[in-house]
Amino acid sequence: MRINFRWTWVEVLLCVLLVVVAAGEILIYSAPVIRPEQSLGVTVKSVSSAGPSIRLQLAVLHSPADSAIKLAAYPLAKRTDLTQPAVFVYSDGDYPTAGIAPTVAQGVFDHLKGELSAREYRGDVTGVTASELTDVFKDTSKASNRMAVMMTGVMPDKLFSRTIDLVSPWVQAGGTLVWAGGAIGYWDGSRGQALSSTNVVGESGTKRLLGSGVIQYPTSFGRQGTVRSDWASALDLGYKFTGGGLIRDTVTARGGVALGWYSGLYTSVGFLPRGSGGYLIFGGEVPDEASIAVDLTKIVMSHPTLSSGPVAGKLVPLSSASSSATVDWNLPFNAPNGRIMVIAFDPSPDGVYFASQSVAVTGS
Protein backbone atom coordinates (compact mmCIF):
# COMPACT_ATOMS: atom_id res chain seq x y z
CA MET A 1 0.00 0.00 0.00
CA ARG A 2 1.27 3.44 -0.84
CA ILE A 3 0.52 6.60 1.05
CA ASN A 4 -0.64 9.81 -0.55
CA PHE A 5 -0.12 12.87 1.55
CA ARG A 6 -3.01 15.26 1.14
CA TRP A 7 -1.91 18.74 1.87
CA THR A 8 -3.74 20.74 -0.71
CA TRP A 9 -5.58 22.61 2.03
CA VAL A 10 -2.23 23.87 3.34
CA GLU A 11 -1.34 25.14 -0.09
CA VAL A 12 -4.69 26.86 -0.40
CA LEU A 13 -4.29 28.36 3.07
CA LEU A 14 -0.84 29.67 2.24
CA CYS A 15 -2.01 31.07 -1.06
CA VAL A 16 -4.97 32.86 0.52
CA LEU A 17 -2.77 34.16 3.33
CA LEU A 18 -0.17 35.60 0.98
CA VAL A 19 -2.71 37.24 -1.28
CA VAL A 20 -4.94 38.61 1.45
CA VAL A 21 -2.11 39.99 3.56
CA ALA A 22 -0.20 41.63 0.72
CA ALA A 23 -3.27 42.88 -1.11
CA GLY A 24 -4.78 44.10 2.15
CA GLU A 25 -1.69 46.10 2.98
CA ILE A 26 -1.62 47.68 -0.46
CA LEU A 27 -5.35 48.35 -0.33
CA ILE A 28 -5.30 50.15 3.00
CA TYR A 29 -2.76 52.62 1.64
CA SER A 30 -4.62 53.22 -1.56
CA ALA A 31 -6.00 56.72 -1.92
CA PRO A 32 -9.71 55.92 -1.39
CA VAL A 33 -8.95 54.23 1.93
CA ILE A 34 -6.31 56.66 3.15
CA ARG A 35 -8.45 59.73 2.58
CA PRO A 36 -11.06 59.08 5.26
CA GLU A 37 -8.30 58.08 7.68
CA GLN A 38 -6.82 61.54 7.54
CA SER A 39 -10.14 63.18 8.02
CA LEU A 40 -9.61 65.81 10.69
CA GLY A 41 -9.44 69.41 9.58
CA VAL A 42 -9.73 72.74 11.38
CA THR A 43 -10.43 76.10 9.78
CA VAL A 44 -10.30 79.44 11.55
CA LYS A 45 -13.56 81.23 10.71
CA SER A 46 -13.05 84.41 12.71
CA VAL A 47 -10.75 85.95 15.30
CA SER A 48 -11.71 89.20 16.95
CA SER A 49 -10.54 91.17 19.91
CA ALA A 50 -13.05 91.58 22.71
CA GLY A 51 -11.41 93.79 25.31
CA PRO A 52 -9.06 91.71 27.45
CA SER A 53 -9.90 88.56 25.54
CA ILE A 54 -10.06 87.22 22.00
CA ARG A 55 -13.11 85.62 20.47
CA LEU A 56 -12.17 82.72 18.25
CA GLN A 57 -14.49 80.72 16.04
CA LEU A 58 -13.34 77.50 14.40
CA ALA A 59 -14.90 74.97 12.06
CA VAL A 60 -13.92 71.35 12.61
CA LEU A 61 -14.38 68.67 9.98
CA HIS A 62 -14.11 65.10 11.17
CA SER A 63 -15.14 61.51 10.61
CA PRO A 64 -17.32 59.43 12.96
CA ALA A 65 -14.16 57.77 14.27
CA ASP A 66 -12.74 61.07 15.61
CA SER A 67 -13.86 61.40 19.21
CA ALA A 68 -12.16 64.67 20.16
CA ILE A 69 -9.80 67.38 19.05
CA LYS A 70 -7.42 69.37 21.21
CA LEU A 71 -7.01 73.10 20.60
CA ALA A 72 -4.32 75.44 21.87
CA ALA A 73 -3.74 79.12 21.24
CA TYR A 74 -1.23 81.76 22.29
CA PRO A 75 -0.43 85.36 21.35
CA LEU A 76 2.60 85.73 19.13
CA ALA A 77 5.54 87.90 20.07
CA LYS A 78 7.00 90.20 17.44
CA ARG A 79 9.06 87.45 15.87
CA THR A 80 6.78 85.29 13.75
CA ASP A 81 9.19 83.12 11.82
CA LEU A 82 7.29 79.89 11.33
CA THR A 83 9.98 78.16 9.28
CA GLN A 84 10.37 74.53 10.23
CA PRO A 85 14.08 74.13 10.99
CA ALA A 86 16.36 71.35 9.88
CA VAL A 87 16.74 68.93 12.79
CA PHE A 88 20.03 67.17 13.55
CA VAL A 89 19.75 64.35 16.07
CA TYR A 90 22.99 63.31 17.74
CA SER A 91 23.72 59.63 18.29
CA ASP A 92 27.19 58.13 18.32
CA GLY A 93 27.79 54.67 19.74
CA ASP A 94 31.49 55.46 20.21
CA TYR A 95 30.73 58.05 22.87
CA PRO A 96 29.39 57.47 26.38
CA THR A 97 25.94 58.49 27.54
CA ALA A 98 24.46 59.27 30.94
CA GLY A 99 20.98 59.40 32.39
CA ILE A 100 19.31 57.64 29.49
CA ALA A 101 18.19 54.10 28.75
CA PRO A 102 20.48 52.20 26.34
CA THR A 103 18.15 52.50 23.37
CA VAL A 104 17.45 56.19 23.74
CA ALA A 105 20.25 57.79 21.73
CA GLN A 106 19.39 56.01 18.50
CA GLY A 107 15.75 55.62 19.46
CA VAL A 108 15.14 59.33 19.80
CA PHE A 109 16.24 59.85 16.23
CA ASP A 110 14.07 57.03 14.94
CA HIS A 111 11.01 58.15 16.85
CA LEU A 112 11.46 61.85 16.24
CA LYS A 113 11.88 61.30 12.53
CA GLY A 114 8.80 59.06 12.50
CA GLU A 115 6.63 61.40 14.55
CA LEU A 116 7.59 64.48 12.53
CA SER A 117 7.12 62.61 9.27
CA ALA A 118 3.69 61.37 10.38
CA ARG A 119 2.69 64.98 10.99
CA GLU A 120 4.04 66.09 7.63
CA TYR A 121 6.92 68.12 9.01
CA ARG A 122 8.65 69.87 6.13
CA GLY A 123 12.15 70.28 7.56
CA ASP A 124 14.89 67.68 7.17
CA VAL A 125 15.53 65.33 10.07
CA THR A 126 19.05 63.89 10.04
CA GLY A 127 20.96 61.61 12.38
CA VAL A 128 24.50 62.82 13.09
CA THR A 129 27.61 61.44 14.77
CA ALA A 130 29.85 63.54 17.01
CA SER A 131 32.03 64.50 14.04
CA GLU A 132 29.07 65.47 11.91
CA LEU A 133 27.54 67.46 14.76
CA THR A 134 30.85 69.27 15.16
CA ASP A 135 30.57 70.37 11.54
CA VAL A 136 27.02 71.55 12.16
CA PHE A 137 28.11 73.64 15.16
CA LYS A 138 31.09 75.11 13.36
CA ASP A 139 28.84 76.45 10.62
CA THR A 140 27.28 79.25 12.62
CA SER A 141 26.06 81.02 9.48
CA LYS A 142 23.27 78.46 9.14
CA ALA A 143 22.50 78.19 12.84
CA SER A 144 19.33 80.25 12.81
CA ASN A 145 17.39 77.63 10.89
CA ARG A 146 18.76 74.58 12.61
CA MET A 147 17.96 72.54 15.68
CA ALA A 148 20.34 70.07 17.30
CA VAL A 149 18.87 67.34 19.48
CA MET A 150 21.24 65.88 22.07
CA MET A 151 19.47 63.48 24.39
CA THR A 152 22.55 61.65 25.57
CA GLY A 153 23.39 63.36 28.86
CA VAL A 154 27.01 63.79 27.74
CA MET A 155 28.61 66.30 25.36
CA PRO A 156 31.29 64.85 23.06
CA ASP A 157 34.57 66.43 24.13
CA LYS A 158 35.24 67.71 20.64
CA LEU A 159 32.15 69.92 21.07
CA PHE A 160 32.33 70.90 24.68
CA SER A 161 34.81 70.37 27.51
CA ARG A 162 36.70 72.43 30.07
CA THR A 163 38.64 74.02 27.23
CA ILE A 164 36.37 73.74 24.22
CA ASP A 165 32.97 75.27 23.58
CA LEU A 166 31.52 75.08 20.09
CA VAL A 167 28.00 75.06 21.49
CA SER A 168 27.63 78.59 22.84
CA PRO A 169 28.65 80.41 19.63
CA TRP A 170 26.26 78.28 17.62
CA VAL A 171 23.36 78.98 19.97
CA GLN A 172 24.23 82.67 20.10
CA ALA A 173 24.09 82.67 16.31
CA GLY A 174 20.51 81.41 16.34
CA GLY A 175 20.69 77.66 16.77
CA THR A 176 18.35 75.77 19.06
CA LEU A 177 19.86 73.01 21.17
CA VAL A 178 17.52 70.40 22.62
CA TRP A 179 18.99 68.57 25.59
CA ALA A 180 18.05 65.69 27.91
CA GLY A 181 19.78 63.20 30.19
CA GLY A 182 20.80 65.28 33.21
CA ALA A 183 22.27 68.72 33.76
CA ILE A 184 23.61 70.13 30.53
CA GLY A 185 27.34 70.84 30.56
CA TYR A 186 28.10 68.56 33.52
CA TRP A 187 29.73 65.75 31.50
CA ASP A 188 32.00 65.67 28.52
CA GLY A 189 32.73 62.33 26.91
CA SER A 190 35.74 60.94 25.08
CA ARG A 191 35.52 58.64 22.11
CA GLY A 192 35.69 54.98 23.07
CA GLN A 193 35.99 55.61 26.81
CA ALA A 194 33.56 55.11 29.65
CA LEU A 195 32.78 58.09 31.82
CA SER A 196 35.14 58.74 34.71
CA SER A 197 35.89 61.57 37.10
CA THR A 198 38.08 63.19 34.46
CA ASN A 199 34.96 63.77 32.38
CA VAL A 200 33.26 65.93 34.98
CA VAL A 201 33.07 69.51 33.79
CA GLY A 202 30.63 70.17 36.60
CA GLU A 203 28.47 73.10 37.49
CA SER A 204 30.85 75.50 35.78
CA GLY A 205 30.05 73.80 32.48
CA THR A 206 26.34 74.31 33.01
CA LYS A 207 26.90 77.97 33.86
CA ARG A 208 29.04 78.54 30.78
CA LEU A 209 26.21 77.37 28.59
CA LEU A 210 23.10 78.63 30.36
CA GLY A 211 24.36 81.34 32.70
CA SER A 212 24.07 81.26 36.45
CA GLY A 213 20.93 80.65 38.47
CA VAL A 214 19.23 78.53 35.81
CA ILE A 215 19.92 75.01 37.12
CA GLN A 216 20.18 74.30 40.83
CA TYR A 217 23.10 72.16 42.02
CA PRO A 218 23.19 69.50 43.35
CA THR A 219 20.71 68.05 40.91
CA SER A 220 18.23 65.46 42.11
CA PHE A 221 18.04 62.26 40.10
CA GLY A 222 14.53 60.88 39.70
CA ARG A 223 12.63 63.96 40.84
CA GLN A 224 9.36 64.36 38.95
CA GLY A 225 6.96 67.21 38.44
CA THR A 226 3.48 66.91 39.86
CA VAL A 227 1.74 70.01 38.53
CA ARG A 228 1.18 70.62 34.84
CA SER A 229 2.10 74.02 33.45
CA ASP A 230 -0.37 75.72 31.15
CA TRP A 231 1.80 74.68 28.21
CA ALA A 232 2.03 71.06 29.30
CA SER A 233 -1.71 71.04 29.69
CA ALA A 234 -2.38 72.73 26.35
CA LEU A 235 -0.04 70.45 24.38
CA ASP A 236 -0.59 67.29 26.49
CA LEU A 237 3.12 67.02 27.28
CA GLY A 238 4.03 64.00 29.36
CA TYR A 239 7.70 64.44 30.31
CA LYS A 240 7.93 64.92 34.09
CA PHE A 241 11.54 64.59 35.23
CA THR A 242 12.90 67.75 36.84
CA GLY A 243 16.11 66.51 38.52
CA GLY A 244 18.28 68.66 36.24
CA GLY A 245 15.45 70.96 35.21
CA LEU A 246 15.45 74.68 34.73
CA ILE A 247 14.34 77.03 37.49
CA ARG A 248 11.13 78.30 36.02
CA ASP A 249 11.16 81.82 37.45
CA THR A 250 14.61 82.39 36.00
CA VAL A 251 13.45 81.05 32.66
CA THR A 252 10.49 83.40 32.43
CA ALA A 253 12.52 86.32 33.77
CA ARG A 254 14.98 85.83 30.89
CA GLY A 255 12.29 85.71 28.24
CA GLY A 256 11.96 81.94 28.10
CA VAL A 257 9.02 79.61 28.39
CA ALA A 258 8.34 76.99 31.08
CA LEU A 259 6.67 74.20 29.14
CA GLY A 260 6.67 71.14 31.33
CA TRP A 261 5.54 69.78 34.67
CA TYR A 262 6.46 71.66 37.82
CA SER A 263 7.98 70.36 41.01
CA GLY A 264 8.41 73.37 43.23
CA LEU A 265 10.82 75.77 41.55
CA TYR A 266 11.63 73.50 38.67
CA THR A 267 10.10 72.74 35.31
CA SER A 268 10.58 69.45 33.50
CA VAL A 269 10.76 71.19 30.12
CA GLY A 270 11.81 74.76 29.47
CA PHE A 271 13.12 76.99 26.71
CA LEU A 272 15.85 79.44 27.65
CA PRO A 273 16.79 82.01 24.99
CA ARG A 274 20.50 82.79 24.58
CA GLY A 275 21.56 85.29 21.95
CA SER A 276 19.56 84.66 18.79
CA GLY A 277 18.91 81.03 19.68
CA GLY A 278 18.30 79.09 22.83
CA TYR A 279 18.22 75.87 24.79
CA LEU A 280 15.22 73.61 25.04
CA ILE A 281 15.95 71.55 28.13
CA PHE A 282 14.26 68.33 29.19
CA GLY A 283 15.36 68.38 32.79
CA GLY A 284 16.28 64.85 33.69
CA GLU A 285 16.73 61.26 32.67
CA VAL A 286 15.15 59.62 29.64
CA PRO A 287 13.80 56.14 30.33
CA ASP A 288 11.69 56.04 27.17
CA GLU A 289 12.56 57.57 23.83
CA ALA A 290 9.10 57.20 22.32
CA SER A 291 7.16 59.50 24.61
CA ILE A 292 9.85 62.18 24.77
CA ALA A 293 9.97 62.19 20.97
CA VAL A 294 6.23 62.81 20.86
CA ASP A 295 6.58 65.69 23.32
CA LEU A 296 9.41 67.20 21.30
CA THR A 297 7.42 66.83 18.10
CA LYS A 298 4.52 68.77 19.57
CA ILE A 299 6.85 71.49 20.80
CA VAL A 300 8.68 71.76 17.50
CA MET A 301 5.46 71.99 15.54
CA SER A 302 3.74 74.50 17.79
CA HIS A 303 6.58 77.06 18.04
CA PRO A 304 6.11 78.00 21.72
CA THR A 305 9.32 80.00 21.58
CA LEU A 306 7.39 82.59 19.56
CA SER A 307 4.90 83.09 22.37
CA SER A 308 4.57 86.39 24.15
CA GLY A 309 3.56 84.55 27.34
CA PRO A 310 0.18 83.01 28.02
CA VAL A 311 -1.35 79.95 26.40
CA ALA A 312 -4.81 78.40 26.49
CA GLY A 313 -5.93 74.86 25.75
CA LYS A 314 -9.29 73.27 25.12
CA LEU A 315 -10.44 69.71 24.53
CA VAL A 316 -13.39 69.59 22.15
CA PRO A 317 -15.44 66.37 22.13
CA LEU A 318 -16.72 65.48 18.67
CA SER A 319 -20.03 63.84 17.96
CA SER A 320 -20.11 60.74 15.80
CA ALA A 321 -23.52 61.82 14.56
CA SER A 322 -22.22 64.69 12.44
CA SER A 323 -19.17 65.31 10.31
CA SER A 324 -18.57 68.92 11.31
CA ALA A 325 -18.62 71.11 14.38
CA THR A 326 -18.30 74.80 15.13
CA VAL A 327 -16.26 75.83 18.14
CA ASP A 328 -16.62 79.22 19.83
CA TRP A 329 -13.77 79.93 22.19
CA ASN A 330 -13.00 82.98 24.31
CA LEU A 331 -9.27 83.16 24.84
CA PRO A 332 -8.34 84.71 28.22
CA PHE A 333 -5.71 87.03 26.78
CA ASN A 334 -5.23 89.66 24.13
CA ALA A 335 -2.73 89.85 21.31
CA PRO A 336 -0.38 92.79 21.84
CA ASN A 337 1.19 92.23 18.41
CA GLY A 338 -2.07 91.59 16.60
CA ARG A 339 -1.54 87.91 15.84
CA ILE A 340 -2.17 84.66 17.59
CA MET A 341 -1.10 81.11 16.91
CA VAL A 342 -3.87 78.53 16.73
CA ILE A 343 -2.92 74.88 17.14
CA ALA A 344 -5.14 71.85 16.66
CA PHE A 345 -4.23 68.23 17.13
CA ASP A 346 -5.70 64.78 17.60
CA PRO A 347 -5.29 63.94 21.33
CA SER A 348 -5.83 60.21 20.80
CA PRO A 349 -2.88 57.89 21.43
CA ASP A 350 -0.65 57.99 18.37
CA GLY A 351 -2.96 60.51 16.66
CA VAL A 352 -1.17 62.15 13.75
CA TYR A 353 -3.26 65.19 12.93
CA PHE A 354 -1.39 68.34 13.93
CA ALA A 355 -1.91 71.80 12.50
CA SER A 356 -0.69 75.23 13.52
CA GLN A 357 -1.62 78.52 11.96
CA SER A 358 -0.74 82.14 12.61
CA VAL A 359 -3.80 84.35 12.28
CA ALA A 360 -4.37 88.10 12.55
CA VAL A 361 -6.77 89.37 15.22
CA THR A 362 -9.30 91.84 13.91
CA GLY A 363 -10.11 94.88 16.02
CA SER A 364 -6.99 94.61 18.12
Partner 1 sequence: MELPSSTAQVDAASTESPAVPTTSAVGCTRPSRAPWGILGIGLLLRLVLAPYTAWNNDVAVWFHTSLSGYYGLHLYERPGFSYPPVWGYMLQIIGSAVRSLGLGSNFFGVYNPVFSSANSATFDFTEVVTSPEFNVVFKSILIGFDVATAFLVYRLVKQVTGDEHKAKLGFAACFLNPFLIYETAVQGALDTIVGFSVLATVVLLMDGRYFWAGSAWSLGILTKLSPVVLAPLLLVIIVGGFRSSNKSRIAQLGFFMLGGAVATAFLLGPEVLFGSIQSMLHNVFARTQESVTIGGMSITGIRYLRPFSGLLDWGFQNSALLIRASSAAQVVSVMAWAIWTAVMARKDPVFATLAGTVGTLASIMLLSPISNPQYVLWWMPCLAALAVIVGKWYVHLGVLTVAPLVFTVAILGPTAVLGPLATYTHLMPATDLNAQVISWYLAPGKLWGAYFADDFFAPASIVTVGTVILLFARWIPKAFVLSPGPTQLSAVADAD
Question: To the nearest whole angstrom, how small is the minimum distance from the Cβ of residue 75 to partner 1?
Answer: 31
Judged by beta carbon, residue 157 or residue 289, the one nearer partner 1 is 289
Judged by beta carbon, residue 186 or residue 241, the one nearer partner 1 is 241
Judged by beta carbon, residue 218 or residue 317, the one nearer partner 1 is 317
Judged by beta carbon, residue 106 or residue 337, the one nearer partner 1 is 106
Site string for partner 1, 284-323 (x = CB under 8 A): ---x--x-----------------------------x---
Among residue numbers 108 through 127, which ones bind partner 1 (CB under 8 A)? 110-111, 114-115, 117-118
Residue 66 binds partner 1 (CB under 8 A): yes
Question: To the nearest whole angstrom, how small is the minimum distance from the Cβ of residue 65 to partner 1?
Answer: 5
Residue 2 binds partner 1 (CB under 8 A): yes
The region, left, alpha or beta by phi > 0 then psi within -120 to 50, assigned to residue 271 is beta
Question: To the nearest whole angstrom, how small is the minimum distance from the Cβ of residue 117 to partner 1?
Answer: 6
Q: Which of the stretches 58-66, 136-144, 152-160, 172-180 binds partner 1 when contact is defined by CB under 8 A?
A: 58-66
Judged by beta carbon, residue 68 or residue 265, the one nearer partner 1 is 68
Give the one residue of 16, 82, 101, 253 binding partner 1; rule: CB under 8 A: 101
Give me the residues that bind partner 1 (CB under 8 A), please.
1-7, 9-11, 13-15, 17-19, 21-22, 24-26, 28-29, 33-34, 36-38, 63-67, 93, 101-103, 106-107, 110-111, 114-115, 117-118, 287, 290, 320, 348-352
